Amino acid sequence: MRASTDGNTGADAQFCAMELEAAVRAARQKLLPRREGEPVPYVQARDPAIERLQPWSKLALAHGGYLVFIGVWPLLHVRSFAKVTGPKPEGWLTKAVGACLANVGIELIQAAVRGGRVRRGVRSLAVRSAMTFAAFDFYYAGLRRRISPVYLGNGAIQLLFAALWEWDHLRERRQLDRPPPAAYA
């Protein structure tokens, strides 16, 4: 497709577009032969497929996001964290626990973004860490009253995440125990 142009860029672009359309039409006729009088097939342009997060990935993403939030907060601003949760005599310990929480949260987020089912080890890590923090929160904030009652809220949230993980595990086991759909036919 060679053409001489007169230097008018708008006209040149329009001419090139018309030439390109003609070339595409010719290529379609060669690739998609049709009988005389048959209408040209309409090909609908489709958007690219969007991969949606599965329920277990959403759970891993939510739990991971929560853990990263509560883990990074004392790392970024320990004073505001201490204002909400009570005084912290050992700032380094608060930051160390926050870093551990953030690392667990990052692992859960990576498992969610990776796609597919969350691996058994990652699920186990999520449940065990949630149960551990809930137990400490309820014991030291509830029974012993040694830490701020704000931690009771964190314990409840952690228990909720542990229950959701277990519910997801039971649902998955039920699906695996069912016979394949062809058995019902």
Percent of the chain residues topping a pLDDT of 90: 56
CA distance 166 to 75: 30
Residue 95 structure tokens: 């930051």
Reported confidence tier of residue 173, pLDDT bands at 50, 70, 90: confident
Question: How big is the chain by its Cα radius of gyration, in Å?
Answer: 30
- For position 24, what pLDDT does the model report? 73
CB 138 within 8 A of CB 152: yes
- For position 48, what pLDDT does the model report? 60
Residue 172 lies in a domain: yes
Q: Which of 49-53, 123-127, 128-132, 178-182 has the lowest mean pLDDT?
A: 49-53
Residue 40 lies in a domain: no
- For position 22, what pLDDT does the model report? 77
* Per-residue pLDDT tens over the stretch 12-54: 667 677 777 777 777 666 666 666 666 655 555 566 655 677 7
Number of domains in the chain: 1
Percent of the chain residues topping a pLDDT of 70: 75
**What sign results for the dihedral spanned by CA atoms 121, 124, 126, 128?**
negative
Residue 182 lies in a domain: no
Residue predicted with more confidence, 45 or 71: 71
- For position 90, what pLDDT does the model report? 92
- Average pLDDT (116-142) is 94
* Structural domain of 123: 55-177
Reported confidence tier of residue 105, pLDDT bands at 50, 70, 90: very high
Query: Chain centroid to CA 144: how far?
Result: 38
3-state class (DSSP) for residue 112: helix
Pure H helices in 44-87: 55-76, 78-85
Residue 111 structure tokens: 């498992």
CA-nearest of 64, 90, 84 to 153 is 84
CB 130 within 8 A of CB 158: yes
Residue predicted with more confidence, 46 or 148: 148
Residue 173 lies in a domain: yes
Residue 159 lies in a domain: yes
Residue 45 lies in a domain: no
